[in-house]
Amino acid sequence: MHLRLLLCGVCCLLTVGGALKHHILTKSWDEAQSDCLEYLRIESSRAKPYISHQYEDDQTTKELLFCILLNLRVYQATQNVPRVELMRQFFTPDAGDTMHVNRTNECLRRVQIPLKENSSCGKPYLGAIESANGMFRCFYYYYGNLNRSAVELLPTMLERQQIQQECAKIVGIPEGLLRCGSHLKNHPLYSNFSHCVMLRSGSSTMALDENLRNSLNVIKA
Ligand SMILES: *[C@@H]1O[C@H](CO)[C@@H](O)[C@H](O)[C@H]1NC(C)=O
Ligand SMILES: *[C@@H]1O[C@H](CO)[C@@H](O)[C@H](O)[C@H]1NC(C)=O
Ligand SMILES: *[C@@H]1O[C@H](CO)[C@@H](O)[C@H](O)[C@H]1NC(C)=O
Ligand SMILES: *[C@@H]1O[C@H](CO)[C@@H](O)[C@H](O)[C@H]1NC(C)=O
């Protein structure tokens, strides 16, 4: 009984702010960073530069930034690609700066995406860490200032699959149809299904990640 009351209280608090209305997670840059300082066991004596958003080019800093981008779902772990459009939510351009997108894109075009990791020898994820850092630095130096507000995080690919399976069950579409796009779209309950997916994932585009598979995209003007 107490637990139920407590849970209810938490839900009410969260819905007031609009966050987690259905199943959506929100997080700010600083919250993600503070998680990652704990995950990576970086002592507080060494965390000072990070708290003031100073990021040197050493390996610890690179691993921290990689962790933050994974944590914020900006780096898509299952596909090993950064989702550049999501990165801009954490930065605010200076007022009147009309060139921030062009400058950022010019930088993004120079960031290498590793095709294959050298995982058998040496440290794994080196290529992923480098490309995630390259992307971060494009925004950090050319786009604008780090914004401290929390944003709604998009689900990962795995979570998206789970949401689709749950919504298929909720509206009564056979789960097998999820693997055949055109049949799914012609199903009479398709609009109910996509409505459910949109509410639970916070995004109407189910194929958001599809064209990001092989290359680092640039952001839209
Ligand atoms: C920004 O880049 C786009 C495409 O690369 C170009 O068409 C546009 O003129 C540039 N804008 C400015 C202000 O230079
Ligand atoms: C993998 O390692 C080999 C040998 O160390 C190196 O020549 C190659 O450039 C590496 N590939 C990548 C993608 O880092
Ligand atoms: C941060 O982003 C939010 C939402 O996008 C915006 O309302 C706010 O003005 C930004 N904060 C700063 C300091 O730019
Ligand atoms: C599907 O959505 C319509 C409204 O668009 C609603 O009337 C109907 O009850 C829904 N069906 C199911 C099975 O959820």
Q: Are residues 127 and 197 in the same domain?
A: no
Ligand nearest to the Cα of 28, by number: 3
CATH number of 124's domain: 1.10.238.20
Q: What tokens appear for 153 in the block?
A: 């995080």
* Domain hosting residue 82, numbered range: 24-146
**Nearest ligand to the C-alpha atom of residue 218:** 1
Token pair of 19 as six digits = 């966050």
Residues 87 and 167 in one domain: no
Is the CB of 92 within 6 Å of ligand 3? Answer: yes
Contact (CB, 8 A) for 4 and 40: no
- Quickly list H helices, the chain: 2-16, 29-39, 48-51, 59-71, 84-87, 100-108, 126-138, 157-171, 181-186, 190-201
HSE value, Cβ hemisphere, 13 Å, CA-based, for 43: 2
CA of 77 to the centre of ligand 4 (A): 35
Phi, psi of 109 (to 5 degrees): -65, -20
- Give the pLDDT of residue 3: 42
Q: Report how many domains make up the chain.
A: 2
Residue 82 Cα, ligand 2 centroid: separation in angstroms? 21
Asked if residue 26 has its Cβ within 6 Å of ligand 3, the reply is no
Count CA atoms within 13 Å of residue 73 on its CB side: 19
β-partners of residue 81 are 76
pLDDT in tens, the chain (221 residues): 444 444 444 443 444 334 456 777 899 999 999 999 999 999 999 999 999 999 999 999 999 999 999 999 998 877 777 888 889 999 999 999 999 999 999 999 998 776 666 656 667 788 889 989 999 999 999 999 999 999 988 888 888 889 999 999 999 999 998 887 778 889 999 999 999 988 888 765 544 444 444 445 788 87
Same domain, 83 and 168: no
Let me know if residue 104 belongs to a domain. yes
Tell me: do 33 and 138 sit in the same domain.
yes
The residues facing 151 across adjacent strands are: 27
Q: Are residues 29 and 65 in the same domain?
A: yes
Contact, 25 vs 152, CB < 8 A? Answer: yes
Return d(Cα 214, Cα 210) in angstroms, integer. Answer: 9
CA of 65 to the centre of ligand 3 (A): 21
pLDDT of residue 211: 44
Q: Do residues 45 and 131 share a domain?
A: yes
Same-domain check for residues 162 and 142? no
Answer with the one of 146, 172, 190 that is the final residue of a domain.
Answer: 146
CB of 187 sitting under 6 A from ligand 4: no
Atom number of ligand 2 nearest to Cα 127: 14
Write down the pLDDT at residue 20.
Answer: 53
Residue 62 lies in a domain: yes
* CA 74 centroid distance within chain: 3
- Asked if residue 135 belongs to a domain, the reply is yes
Any ligand 3 atom below 6 A from CB of 147: yes
Say yes or no: 44 and 133 in one domain: yes
Q: Which amino acid residue places its CA nearest to atom 12 of ligand 4? A: 171
| Ligand 1 center to 74 CA (angstroms) | 25
Lookup: tokens for 208? 């958001």
For the range 42-51, what are the long-range contacts, defined as Cβ-Cβ under 8 Å and sequence gap of 24 or more? none
Start-to-end CA distance of the chain, whole Å, equals: 52
CA-nearest of 152, 160, 118, 114 to 134 is: 114
Task: Report the greatest alpha carbon distance in the chain.
Answer: 59
Give the residue whose CA is nearest to atom 12 of ligand 3: 147
Residues in a beta bridge with 91: 146
The pLDDT value recorded for residue 160 is 86
Q: What is the CA radius of gyration of the chain?
A: 20
Rounded to the nearest angstrom, the distance between the alpha carbon of 163 and the centre of ligand 4 is 18
For residue 182 the two structure tokens come to 């055109």
CA 185–ligand 3 middle distance (angstroms):
37
Of the ligands numbered here, which is closest to the C-alpha atom of 100? 1
Cβ of 28 below 6 Å from ligand 3: no
46 is a domain residue: yes
Q: Tokens in use for 177?
A: 């149809």
* Residues 165 and 116 occupy one common structural domain: no
